[in-house]
Structure 1
């Protein structure tokens, strides 16, 4: 039965003023919505992700969320985690703990720290380590690169199917021109096809206000998409490169320049936990009829 449901659209990982990060649509009180309706609404919003808030099934969680792209459901994604937590708190959600929210999603329980910004604890990688030779060649072809352009390549998959590629500089990252024909169908391992992230360091971080530059690519149907700012990818990159000693335990990633955004992702290793955070700004409040 169709009814009025609260709706919020937020900007995640922007510099604080909104409209420069990654947008997210959040449907509150999504009880009673079936999966087909959720998927149809996500296709209709045409955003990289749309989330649906539900009561938790785990007593340790404050809420449950289902995360949909235009092509299907994901067990976890980073900017939807922060954006949903922000929308839930702003709508009057009361967390069991004063300093954090606990989200239940397809990947399990994800803590979100509440402070000057929101930070999620990176979930364990479901696949890590080296990429086989055949797939490595496909990745190189998809990015229009040669083996000598790379510093390294690894699986950093925490749900969407990310393969990460480290390049020799941030400028090299910004210069990449991906080739859609090599990505296959769908978008990420959950949906089929490649989901690729690239990262490179800035030589003078103080001058640009960020330590590394990141880009993310996946295919959705016939379209090759570049995600504006990607929490799950940045989580995987941090887990890989901090452990490898190629990035410090605390750094700032920039993402979105090639798609006219200005995202900032804060990454921090704190003991056994890797925290990934950024600013969230509400842009739209209203109701949807679903």
Structure 2
């Protein structure tokens, strides 16, 4: 069935909001299931099997850590096993509470952005990153406290003999984590992680990197799957060089639908002014999907 004619440009949003997050006011838009019917719906990531495996491994490691903590011979061993248990609980809660980085066939959009633009973003990835960072810094903080106690009690030379190598690992991990989070905070202060579409350009942000891409430079908007980091929306120029990329963890959106959204406005420069009104831009893209289904 053909969608109703509105003169080419959507006048108002015809998309029902299925859920809203209080953190940075996001809304999930499902497009009435159209992406699945026109072949633009990606499979869930991570898969159910991956979540089950991650949960089983997390439970097994947590049980082992608790057992070892009860028989730990030193304060450092006790702290290390307790931190390990905490991280396993974080992985388990993540796999249960957020089984997929996005809902297949849907996009997660920020409401009331400033400046006005179409922004796709998920706050969950940042929350998980901060949780892992806090656990790492807690582990390193305990290492520093124990090293100071050893210096006071034994002196410098004797203390060095009492410091286990795992403390050095904790301190090195803290330095790396701190550098990554400083980079991340700087990026977040400029642009929140995700994909931002304006009439003039596309902005990709995530993992501490920030790219500003002009519309006319984008030859391809596609999905690339990294073995460890999962699916990414990737923007390529005419020579196949990567202009920008953003992980689905930061998009919170189906990457195939997102790529189609980018291609839609890339091919229609006369409609890009709609991107300053995200509701109308999404409604226009919804009409495009409906036309594809009717063809």
Normalised by the shorter chain, which TM-score bucket? Answer: under 0.3
- Name the structure where strand makes up a greater proportion of residues: 1
Determine which structure has more spread, i.e. the larger CA radius of gyration: 2
- Name the structure where helix makes up a greater proportion of residues: 2
TM-score when scaled to structure 1? 0.25
TM-score when scaled to structure 2? 0.25
